Amino acid sequence: MTVYQQAEEYIKHRPFGTVFSFGQIVAKLDVSKDSLAHALAKLEAKNHVSRLERGLWHRPKVTRFGVIGPKPETVAAIIVKERGAFVVPAGAAAVNALGWSTQMSMIYNYISTKRITPLNIGKHQINFRYSRAFEDAMKKLDGLNPKEKKRASILWAALEYLGENEAQGKSKLIQQSFTQLSTRTQKKFISTLNGKLSWVLGILE
């Protein structure tokens, strides 16, 4: 099989809407990067794949209404995995994820432990905001199971977004979300509440 045929077969076996990286295909097919880049360019010309950004590809679904793009959440997950970062929804999305609000945004905002370039997917914008404080906080949550770490990190992001004044009006919701964490996670979470988030301790007492 030629590199083109291998790449074509790989893509055909991916569901429509799948997002994958150049590195993933290279590792899977064990082919040269130059040959694969050329093959993907030919496949893109035939609308079999679509390039989202450098090193990031998508198998589009073509309908009579046009091309259906990938879900922004799917794109974000692949980018984060490739960059080796840890992210959670930021801003209003973090507050919404905790059930404290129904406010939503057409912009997908994430807070990240690494710097990642924002990108546009169709009509959607995906932003990654690097925060040194978030990075330090996430190190203190190491050792937790993934589900607990995610819940605690979203709580951290929501509190950072709200700020002290607005958070006072949601004190009961904050306490409720905190008590839903395991005892071990609560202890680790409290250790992250320093500097600008030290005011949260007053709500949790």
Question: How is the chain classified by DSSP, letter by letter?
Answer: --HHHHHHHHHHTSPTT-EEEHHHHHHHHT--HHHHHHHHHHHHHTTS-EEEETTEEE--EEETTEEEPPPHHHHHHHHHHHHT--EEE-THHHHHHTTS-----SEEEEEESS----EEETTEEEEEEE-HHHHHHHHHTTTS-HHHHHHHHHHHHHHHHHHHHHHHTTHHHHHHHHHTS-HHHHHHHHHT--GGGTTHHHHH-
Domain 3-68 -> CATH class: mainly alpha
Instruction: Answer whether residue 101 shows pLDDT above 90.
Output: no
The answer to whether the beta carbons of residues 140 and 191 sit under 8 Å apart is yes
Mean pLDDT, rounded, for 76-89: 91
- pLDDT of residue 67 exceeding 80, the answer is no
For the chain, the domains span 3-68, 84-204
For the stretch 3-54, pLDDT in tens is 999 999 999 999 988 898 898 899 888 888 999 999 999 999 988 999 988 8
**What percentage of residues in the chain have a pLDDT greater than 70?**
100
pTM of this structure: 0.82
Average pLDDT over residues 62-86: 86
